[in-house]
Structure 1
């Protein structure tokens, strides 16, 4: 017997065929390994970040539910290069949980979390006066927090932050909560720098007394505004004729001098063609100091979608440039360094007599935000750098006095546009921010660990935004908060103080894949 044929070393035709074949390269670059969750069963699984055709994708496989692929970021070159903006995290003064099961099931914040809370969110109720097809909170009748609960949550926020930057009251629709003005006053009494109210604008458009109350407490407004076309509002909000009501609310806010950030959720094929018009409208409207574009993410209640075609920050930046006739360019937008740099981007611009001058065109922002090269800058660099960190931060509030002071400091190193005095900055500046939240298809544990936007809950826990909406925290919190509602109502009827009860979480049935 031929020994070579026996062991397959020379005469086996299959082996010869293999020798004639050529190896080929993959059509992608394997960039990194991270942890994610299964979009179906929510188990924690490994995930690969892949670069292909200048886009960034997440590939993962659940042993129970199979493989998944999703688009993460529409510009792979930027995704890689933005790592230089990843500033060191700031540690909170206190932690809310211990490490038991590991990320993402110990949120609270746990000792492994790498960033404090720039923004604390309190959902004061679950009810809403709209039924939007796109609603990450999945708003419906359920609970309404008491003043005692909100005050406890604010006190816990102060305990962990010292002097918190921003608290945002959200829902549901928070303006329909009967104690919302009291909540705003409670936050202001605790010296929280900026108090924001998230709203669809309906009550503001209709209720004169409520408008007077807002004028008394002067919060910043975070205002749902998705575009101008009936089909946009029919698709995203289920109300095709709501635009006039929103415009009326904005005009009424302008009349009392409140600062508004409009918040368009951008869904591909629905309202992405309206982005430029939204920017032009914001520049012209006297109440609007900022825009926060949010690529639609698919958690909670959402439209049917293809995870390979989702909108991302680079997509919206390119559309801003194309649809504003060059008023803004992609190079005007700088990553926000407090969270992961690909989660946020922002720019500021001076507007004077129809002329728009983005701040990055008159000051080299990179000189002050590049945390890797740490290059030498003039003697005033520390003050300017501090100011720019404040502007390029998730805690920056459009139109606030602090943001104006930061611009004034920054402009020691630049030339202001003609005829623009520092005391006119408030009326002459606009902020455009882009915020991309993760959903179960794009969830990246690495990004989560540096999240700086936290949901505040009774009992002191702070849950990162994308974990709360994707991992299962919202569902557990909703069940408990709803179950507490009968006792809240009894306390109101009997005129007694409601004793807040902590929200607790149990993920023992969601085993990670090792």
Structure 2
């Protein structure tokens, strides 16, 4: 017997069962199906960064969107931040193949305790040695630029003894240091700067550089004579030609004639100069082509280091989504030089993280301007992924190119000429150009992008090869020093140390300084952002 109910049978209500009237209603609406949507970006990687407000270390996402690269991060206290990292997503992704294996220093100064970026340095977690050591000999300056990553002003002066100790420690960690740069503040106004340059030369440091605004060089004959004897390379602040450029960036609209006089005087003593323009998207990006043409024609200038403006230290109001990046300057150079320089002429620098630097070398004999990358496939030699096992890659040429494509490369130096000549043994030189002429007339054009609190990337930091050298031996990666809280703490302690030293001298008693220490148990205190009227409407902050 079938026990299943007869589903087709009618149910007849009993006489006492109330009957519910049947009503006719509109057909029920079909529930709307929710559609999943793709986000408008590609999640490229996870890294660590800092909160721009409190400097707390937080996770950060690197996103590719609309052909550009952005960083997005969230602080539990201050919310979400986003900033432009790189103006060309394809170039950013492909740059990974230029990531050269790091070189271990001979010794480390600090231990791993709190983790990056609070153990600087250098600690054993750091992935690169110091290609370039920077000694800020003072905090004072003879200018008051509306933008200055060092926030130059009254503070401290290192002594010659301080600097000698710093140099000795650098020799301990590097053996034969490549480059030391004296910076500030304005190092040329330090009363012992000549003795400091001599101290570096005495230690056989290959290249000694002076980072300067040029004011003292323009007017001080004795100082110029001393520079002529010592022949340091000159790293020269030069932002363009327009009075408005210097008004906005330097607060001195009429300073150009003084800078030109300084450059002419440097040419008279045979100095080698690298022009260093701080480039702001809304102030002087339109001048980069003119700066190149000027540099190629001036007898003292052997290279240019363009630096996109960044938001560290003293700077004006800005939008982190409108940051200027290396690809933006490269595109402007191609347009403003009528393709004398092209984006494809530049190759990332492998010793640091490849998106931090890009460089090319050109022959400049007064008539011909020819990028090296058009006669030698540099990328083949500096590709550390796809060409790792290619047998026909000359190791000698590769080593020479690594020296040129390095943060320790110094424009106009004998070493650079030797490396250039060796590299171009494989060049296909045009008719009429010989190798010797090519090597003697090289001109370097570099772009250096520094991180700020909006774009700070721990991955990049761990391969930084530009270190701030401090008394007591600490070597702090440049972008950590400017963004994490080291600069503020070091300045306070060095200022206190100088006051105590002067007091001990007056009392006739020995002075033993306390070691520099850095604390990050709570959010470090930062000097308030100083927005000056000259900087209203412009972006970022930059080169001293």
Q: 1:75 aligns with which of 88, 100, 108?
A: 88
Is contact 1:347-1:432 (8 Å) kept?
A: yes
Farther-moved stretch of structure 1 (479-488 vs 167-176): 479-488
Alignment-derived partner of residue 413 in structure 2: 400
CA 1:382–1:498 in structure 2 vs 1: closer, same or farther (change >3 Å)?
A: farther
Is contact 2:472-2:516 (8 Å) kept?
A: yes
Task: Measure how far apart 1:424 and its partner are.
Answer: 4.2
Is contact 1:266-1:296 (8 Å) kept?
A: yes
Q: Number of aligned pairs?
A: 497
Alignment-derived partner of residue 215 in structure 1: 228
Distance of 1:140 and 1:148 partners within structure 2:
22
CA 1:376–1:47 in structure 2 vs 1: closer, same or farther (change >3 Å)?
A: closer
Distance of 1:500 and 1:401 partners within structure 2:
40
Task: Measure how far apart 1:353 and its partner are.
Answer: 3.5
Which deviations, in whole Å up to 9, do the C-alpha atoms of 1:274-318 show, x marking residues without a partner?
A: 010001000000000010000001100011110000100000000
Alignment-derived partner of residue 5 in structure 2: none
Q: 1:257 aligns with which of 270, 285, 305?
A: 270
Counterpart check, 1:329 vs 2:320 = no
Aligned pairs for 1:428-439 (under 5 A) are: 428-439=441-452
How high is the TM-score relative to the length of structure 2?
0.88
Q: Secondary structure at the residue paired with 2:46?
A: strand
Aligned pairs for 1:457-472 (under 5 A) are: 457-472=470-485
Q: Secondary structure at the residue paired with 2:370?
A: strand
Aligned pairs for 1:173-184 (under 5 A) are: 173-184=186-197
Distance of 2:111 and 2:336 partners within structure 1:
48
Distance of 2:272 and 2:438 partners within structure 1:
13
Alignment-derived partner of residue 43 in structure 1: 56
Task: Measure how far apart 1:379 and its partner are.
Answer: 6.1
Task: Measure how far apart 1:23 and its partner are.
Answer: 1.6
CA 1:360–1:495 in structure 2 vs 1: closer, same or farther (change >3 Å)?
A: farther
Alignment-derived partner of residue 124 in structure 2: 111
Task: Measure how far apart 1:425 and its partner are.
Answer: 4.8
Alignment-derived partner of residue 97 in structure 2: 84
Alignment-derived partner of residue 372 in structure 1: 385
Distance of 2:508 and 2:207 partners within structure 1:
31
Task: Measure how far apart 1:120 and its partner are.
Answer: 0.4
Is contact 1:343-1:437 (8 Å) kept?
A: yes
Task: Measure how far apart 1:14 and its partner are.
Answer: 11
How high is the TM-score relative to the length of structure 1?
0.94
Q: Which has the larger radius of gyration?
A: 2
Q: Secondary structure at the residue paired with 1:159?
A: helix
Alignment-derived partner of residue 3 in structure 1: none
CA 1:498–1:374 in structure 2 vs 1: closer, same or farther (change >3 Å)?
A: farther
Task: Measure how far apart 1:373 and its partner are.
Answer: 1.5
Farther-moved stretch of structure 1 (67-76 vs 371-380): 371-380
Task: Measure how far apart 1:367 and its partner are.
Answer: 1.8
Alignment-derived partner of residue 31 in structure 2: 16
Distance of 1:464 and 1:14 partners within structure 2:
64
Alignment-derived partner of residue 535 in structure 2: none
Farther-moved stretch of structure 1 (57-66 vs 421-430): 421-430
Is contact 2:276-2:306 (8 Å) kept?
A: yes
Alignment-derived partner of residue 228 in structure 1: 241
Q: Secondary structure at the residue paired with 2:80?
A: strand
Query: Gaps (5+ residues) in structure 2?
Result: 1-27, 525-544
Distance of 2:72 and 2:378 partners within structure 1:
34
Alignment-derived partner of residue 9 in structure 1: none
Is contact 1:42-1:471 (8 Å) kept?
A: yes
What is the RMSD computed on CA atoms of the aligned residues? Answer: 1.8
Which deviations, in whole Å up to 9, do the C-alpha atoms of 1:394-427 show, x marking residues without a partner?
A: 1100101100000000111013455445554565
Q: Secondary structure at the residue paired with 2:72?
A: strand
Is contact 2:362-2:444 (8 Å) kept?
A: yes
Aligned pairs for 1:70-469 (under 5 A) are: 70-374=83-387, 381-425=394-438, 428-469=441-482
Which deviations, in whole Å up to 9, do the C-alpha atoms of 1:313-346 show, x marking residues without a partner?
A: 0000000000001110000000000111000000
Distance of 2:243 and 2:279 partners within structure 1:
15
Query: Gaps (5+ residues) in structure 1?
Result: 1-12
Distance of 1:36 and 1:25 partners within structure 2:
26
Is contact 2:421-2:436 (8 Å) kept?
A: no
Distance of 1:353 and 1:440 partners within structure 2:
42
CA 1:499–1:182 in structure 2 vs 1: closer, same or farther (change >3 Å)?
A: farther
Task: Measure how far apart 1:497 and its partner are.
Answer: 8.1
